[in-house]
Amino acid sequence: MSTDRPYIISLGGSLIIPQATQQINIDYLVQFKQLLSSHIAQGKRFFIITGGGYTARQYQNAGKPLAELSNSDLDWLGIYSTHLNAQFIRTILKEWSYPHILDRADQNFTDIDQYPVVVSGGWHPGNSTDYIAVKIAEKYGAQKLINLSNIDYVYTADPKVDPEATPIETMTWSEFRTMVGDTWDPGASAPFDPIASKEAEQQCIEVAILNGENLENLSKYLDEDEFVGTVIS
């Protein structure tokens, strides 16, 4: 197994089950598996953190009219939804994957570096999967974190609202944190969680914001070729 530092991939739940179709995106996951296979063959290692996406929202929205749910209750529904997605991703990648998903902060596995793929879900209420991705990067010595989102770049403003918004290819953590602030709001649409951003800056972790639907572009990033996206460092 390669001793190179692993890559961290934050795989949004909407890429696994898109809102538009409400079905597992099999075609996408076939291509994602093929991409990982080719890069694993080059000696690369990956930690994949899955979001809850559509599954989480279904449980949360169904629960609200049936019981008085606290924020913690809603968080746990989301967290266990990430565990289901994580277990699914681990299963379809089982030829390379560590046999257990990471599901809490205090886990320690001595043989984890013997596997090319390790999959994690959410951990506990009050943390975004962005924050978990940064903590995994810190714990396992990764310096590059890939956030697969639904945008091509970080923009100077919301391009859906401001026609003058322009894409940003590279920016410092100071610049990015000035843009997104210091407070995490689970309902906010920041490209990367502000609390996770502060932690990533302190740990000197590079984060690349890429459009997760463009897997060819992700492969270019992994090959250190020219790619479309924003790098924050």
Q: For residue 211, what are the β-bridge partners?
A: 149
Q: Which helix or strand (DSSP H or E) is residue 231 part of?
A: strand 230-232
Instruction: Place 109 in a pLDDT band, splitting at 50, 70 and 90.
Output: confident
- Say what the pLDDT of residue 189 is: 66
- Say what the pLDDT of residue 104 is: 86
Q: What is the mean pLDDT of residues 53-74?
A: 92
d(CA 108, CA 48): 17
d(CA 182, CA 172): 15
Q: In what order do the strands lie in the sheet with 230-232?
A: 117-120, 46-50, 7-11, 144-149, 206-211, 230-232, 170-171
82 touches 52 (CB < 8 A): yes
Residue written as token pair 């310096």:
143
Instruction: Place 1 in a pLDDT band, splitting at 50, 70 and 90.
Output: very low
Which tens digits make up the pLDDT trace of 160-206? 889 899 999 999 999 999 988 887 665 566 789 899 999 999 999 99
Kindly provide the residue ranges of all beta strands, DSSP E only, lying in 150-198, ordered along the sequence: 154-155, 167-168, 170-171
- Say what the pLDDT of residue 2 is: 46
6 has pLDDT over 70 = yes
Q: What is the mean pLDDT of residues 1-27?
A: 88
Instruction: Place 220 in a pLDDT band, splitting at 50, 70 and 90.
Output: very high
Which tens digits make up the pLDDT trace of 138-160? 999 999 999 998 889 999 988 88
Summary count for the chain: helices (H), strands (E): 8, 9
What structural domains and CATH numbers belong to the chain?
7-232 (3.40.1160.10)
- Say what the pLDDT of residue 198 is: 93
Highest mean pLDDT among 41-50, 64-73, 175-184: 41-50
HEC-encoded secondary structure of 49-111: EECCHHHHHHHHHHHCCCCCCCHHHHHHHHHHHHHHHHHHHHHHCCCCECCCCECCCCCCCCC
What is the residue type of 120? Answer: S
Q: What is the mean pLDDT of residues 94-117?
A: 90
Q: Is pLDDT larger for residue 92 or for residue 57?
A: 92
d(CA 50, CA 52): 7
